C-alpha cells in the first residue's frame, strides 16, 4: 500500500468511525495480518477497545479474519475496501436512479450499517420514508420489501456468508473462529417473510390525537421484544455489481458521445425497430473505437462487446484529458501522436505534429518529467554512445495509469484535509449556529412568539451568516470534487484490473 493510500484510508476511517478505529485500521493496513494481542500491544490500546474496533471493522467488511496454523486467529485489513467508502454516495445515487427513493434508502441503510437483516432494513426504511411523506400517509412494509426483493434479484444486495448449521447435536470443540460459508445459489435467496405493518412516524411530542399515541406506544415497545423472524440472515451491499453497472454506464456514455445518437443502455431491452438496430450494430462494429466486434453470424450476427478494449480506450481518454488540461492542447496533440504511433523519434514528432522544433522539444521534456512519456534507447553501437543511439519516445499506458491513480489518491486526501480544515476554522461559528438552532427549536416547541424567535435569530449577525453560507458552499464543493476524482479512480482502477487479469 502506498503512502498516499494509507493516508487516505486513515482520513476516511477517522471521519466515519472515529479515532480508535482509525488507529487500529491504519495499523492493520500497514502491517498486514496480525493476531489480536499483537495489535493491542503495538498500538498501545487496551484489549477491550481493540475488540470493539475490530467488531466495527468486521461489521463493515473492512477487516477479515482467518485461523492460521498453531491456532492463532489473525486479522487482515482490506485497504481497497476502505477506499470504496469514497464511493458510497455514488452507489446510493445509482440505487436511487434505478429503484427510486425506496431503493436509495435501502442501499443507504445497508452501507451505513454494514450488515443488516431484511426485516430490520425494511422497518427502518419504512419509518424514514413515512417521515418524509405528508401527514396521514404511511409507507407500507410490503412496498419496501418488494423493492428489497428486486434489489436482491438484480444482485445489488447479497447475503452475507453464515455459519453452517451443524447436524449433530453434540457441538464438539468450538472452532476458534467461525467459518463462514455461502453458496452461489443461496446468495440472493430472499427468505419468505410476511412483513406486515406500516412505517411509524417518529413523534417528538404527544400532541395530536392525544389518546391514541399513548395506547400505541406501549405496543410499539413490545414489538421490539418479539423475535425477528429472519434472525441470522444478514444482507450486505454487493459492491461488485455496482461496479459492473458503473462500467456499463461509462461505456455507453462514451459510445453515445461518439455516435451522437440516443442510445438504449445495454441490459435494457431495445424498443427500436430491428432494421435500425442492425444498422446501429454495424455502425458500432465499424467504428474505429473498436468497442463492438462481430464474431460469427449465428442468429443473424453475433456481436460482442470488447470490454478490455473499451476500458483501455476510456483510460487512454482519461490520460489524454489530463495531459490536455495540464500542459495545453499542443502537448495533447503530441501525446496522442506518440500514443498512436507507438515509438517516434524527436524529428518525426515535429514533422507529424506540425509544431516548431523548439516548442515540440520543450513539450516533450515537460511530459517526460511528468512521467507520461518515456524514452526508449536503441543503441547503434555496442558502446551505447549517446551520439550514436536512437532515442524513441513512447507511452506506456499501464504505468502512466498507475502514476495517475496514485496522484488521484493523494488529491482526494488533500481535498478531505482541506474540508476538515475549513470546518475546524469555523468551528466556533458552527457551534454557535447549532446552539441558536436548538434554542429556536425548543422555543417553537413551547410556543414562543414570533418576536422572541426573531430576537434569537438575530444572535447570528449578517456577516456571520454570510460566513456560514460560504462555508457550506465550500464544503459542498470539496465534497463534490471528491466524488468527481473518485470517478477517475474508478476508470483507472478498472483498466488496471482488467489488464492485470489478462496477463
Residues between 201 and 220 that touch another protein (CB under 8 A): none
2 is a contact residue toward another protein (CB under 8 A): no
Residue 199 burial (C-beta neighbours within 10 Å; 0-12, 13-18, 19+): buried
Compute the distance between CA of residue 246 and CA of residue 483 in angstroms, rounded to an integer: 14
Cell triple for 476: 459542498
Minimum distance between the CB of residue 397 and another protein, rounded to whole angstroms? 15
Residues between 154 and 183 that touch another protein (CB under 8 A): none
Sheet holding 157-159, edge to edge: 116-117, 234-237, 157-159
Cell triple for 132: 418524509
Closer of 129 and 353 to another protein (Cβ): 353
334 is a contact residue toward another protein (CB under 8 A): yes
Distances in Å between the alpha carbon of 245 and those of 74, 115, 304? 34, 22, 17
345 is a contact residue toward another protein (CB under 8 A): no
Closer of 11 and 21 to another protein (Cβ): 11
- Of 108, 150, 97, 106, the closest CA to residue 126 belongs to 106
28 is a contact residue toward another protein (CB under 8 A): no
Classify each residue of 351-367 as buried b or exposed e, where b means 16 or more C-beta atoms within 10 Å of its C-beta.
Answer: ebbebeeeebeebbebb
414 is a contact residue toward another protein (CB under 8 A): yes
Closer of 94 and 145 to another protein (Cβ): 94
Closer of 279 and 442 to another protein (Cβ): 279
Minimum distance between the CB of residue 363 and another protein, rounded to whole angstroms? 13
**Which residues have a Cβ under 8 Å from the Cβ of 498 and sit 6 or more positions away?**
307, 308, 311, 312
Closer of 254 and 448 to another protein (Cβ): 254
Residues between 366 and 405 that touch another protein (CB under 8 A): 404
**Is-contact 298 287, C-beta < 8 A?**
no
Of the residues 408, 426, 433, 494, which one makes contact with another protein according to CB under 8 A: 408
**Is-contact 250 306, C-beta < 8 A?**
no
Compute the distance between CA of residue 405 and CA of residue 410 in angstroms, rounded to an integer: 9
Task: Spell out where 345-434 has E strands.
Answer: 374-379, 389-394
Of the residues 31, 66, 321, 444, which one makes contact with another protein according to CB under 8 A: 321
353 is a contact residue toward another protein (CB under 8 A): yes
Please work out the total of residues on this chain that contact another protein, with binding judged by CB under 8 A.
63
Minimum distance between the CB of residue 18 and another protein, rounded to whole angstroms? 19
Question: How many Cβ atoms sit within 10 Å of the Cβ of residue 501?
Answer: 8
Q: Near another protein by CB under 8 A, which window of 42-50, 82-90, 329-337, 377-385?
A: 329-337
Compute the distance between CA of residue 237 and CA of residue 460 in angstroms, rounded to an integer: 43
Of the residues 52, 90, 407, 432, which one makes contact with another protein according to CB under 8 A: 407
Residues between 250 and 289 that touch another protein (CB under 8 A): 250, 253-255, 257-258, 260-261, 275-276, 279-280, 282-283, 286, 288-289
Task: Point out which residues bind another protein (CB under 8 A).
Answer: 250, 253-255, 257-258, 260-261, 275-276, 279-280, 282-283, 286, 288-289, 313-314, 317-318, 320-322, 324-326, 329, 332-334, 336-337, 340, 352-357, 404, 407-408, 410-411, 413-415, 417-418, 421, 473-474, 477-478, 481, 483-488, 491
Amino acid at each position: 500500500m502506498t503512502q498516499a493510500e494509507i493516508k487516505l484510508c486513515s482520513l476516511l476511517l477517522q471521519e466515519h468511525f472515529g479515532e480508535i478505529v482509525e488507529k487500529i485500521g491504519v495499523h492493520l493496513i500497514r502491517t498486514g495480518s496480525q493476531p489480536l494481542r499483537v495489535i493491542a500491544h503495538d498500538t498501545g490500546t487496551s484489549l477491550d477497545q481493540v475488540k470493539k474496533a475490530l467488531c466495527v471493522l468486521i461489521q463493515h467488511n473492512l477487516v477479515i479474519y482467518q485461523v492460521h496454523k498453531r491456532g492463532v486467529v489473525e486479522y487482515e485489513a482490506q485497504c481497497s475496501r476502505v477506499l470504496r467508502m469514497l464511493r458510497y454516495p455514488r452507489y446510493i445515487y445509482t440505487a436511487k436512479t434505478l429503484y427510486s427513493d425506496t431503493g436509495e434508502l435501502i442501499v443507504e441503510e445497508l452501507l451505513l450499517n454494514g450488515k443488516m437483516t431484511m426485516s430490520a432494513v425494511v422497518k427502518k426504511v419504512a419509518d424514514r420514508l413515512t417521515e418524509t411523506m405528508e401527514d396521514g400517509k404511511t409507507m407500507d412494509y410490503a412496498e419496501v420489501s418488494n423493492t428489497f426483493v428486486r434489489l436482491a434479484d438484480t444482485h445489488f444486495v447479497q447475503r452475507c456468508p453464515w455459519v453452517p448449521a451443524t447436524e449433530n447435536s453434540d457441538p464438539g470443540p468450538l472452532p476458534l473462529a467461525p467459518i463462514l460459508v455461502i453458496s452461489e445459489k443461496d446468495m440472493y435467496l430472499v427468505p419468505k417473510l410476511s412483513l406486515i405493518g406500516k412505517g411509524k412516524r417518529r413523534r417528538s411530542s404527544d400532541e395530536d390525537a392525544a389518546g391514541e399515541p399513548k395506547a400505541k406506544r406501549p405496543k410499539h415497545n413490545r414489538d421490539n421484544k418479539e423475535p425477528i423472524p429472519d434472525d441470522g440472515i444478514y444482507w450486505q451491499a454487493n459492491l461488485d455489481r455496482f461496479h459492473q453497472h458503473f462500467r456499463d454506464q461509462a461505456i455507453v456514455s462514451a459510445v453515445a458521445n461518439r455516435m451522437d445518437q440516443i442510445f438504449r443502455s445495454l441490459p435494457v431491452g431495445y424498443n427500436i425497430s430491428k432494421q435500425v438496430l442492425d444498422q446501429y450494430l454495424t455502425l458500432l462494429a465499424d467504428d474505429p473505437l473498436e468497442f463492438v466486434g462481430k464474431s460469427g453470424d449465428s442468429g443473424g450476427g453475433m456481436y460482442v462487446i470488447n470490454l478490455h478494449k473499451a476500458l483501455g480506450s476510456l483510460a487512454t481518454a482519461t490520460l489524454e484529458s489530463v495531459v490536455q488540461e495540464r500542459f495545453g492542447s499542443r502537448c495533447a496533440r503530441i501525446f496522442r501522436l506518440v500514443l498512436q504511433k507507438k515509438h517516434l523519434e524527436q524529428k518525426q514528432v515535429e514533422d507529424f505534429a506540425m509544431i516548431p522544433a523548439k516548442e515540440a522539444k520543450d513539450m516533450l521534456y515537460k511530459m517526460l518529467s511528468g512521467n507520461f512519456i518515456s524514452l526508449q534507447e536503441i543503441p547503434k553501437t555496442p558502446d551505447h554512445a549517446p551520439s550514436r543511439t536512437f532515442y524513441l519516445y513512447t507511452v506506456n499506458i499501464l504505468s502512466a495509469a498507475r502514476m495517475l491513480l496514485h496522484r488521484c489518491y493523494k488529491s482526494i486526501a488533500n481535498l478531505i484535509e482541506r474540508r476538515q480544515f475549513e470546518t475546524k476554522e469555523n468551528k466556533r461559528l458552527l457551534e454557535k449556529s447549532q446552539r441558536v438552532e436548538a434554542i429556536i427549536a425548543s422555543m417553537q416547541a413551547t410556543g414562543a412568539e414570533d418576536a422572541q424567535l426573531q430576537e434569537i435569530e438575530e444572535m447570528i449577525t449578517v456577516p456571520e451568516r454570510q460566513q456560514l453560507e460560504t462555508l457550506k458552499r465550500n464544503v459542498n464543493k470539496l465534497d463534490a470534487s471528491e466524488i468527481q476524482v473518485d470517478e477517475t479512480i474508478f476508470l483507472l482502477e478498472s483498466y488496471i484490473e482488467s489488464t492485470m487479469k489478462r496477463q
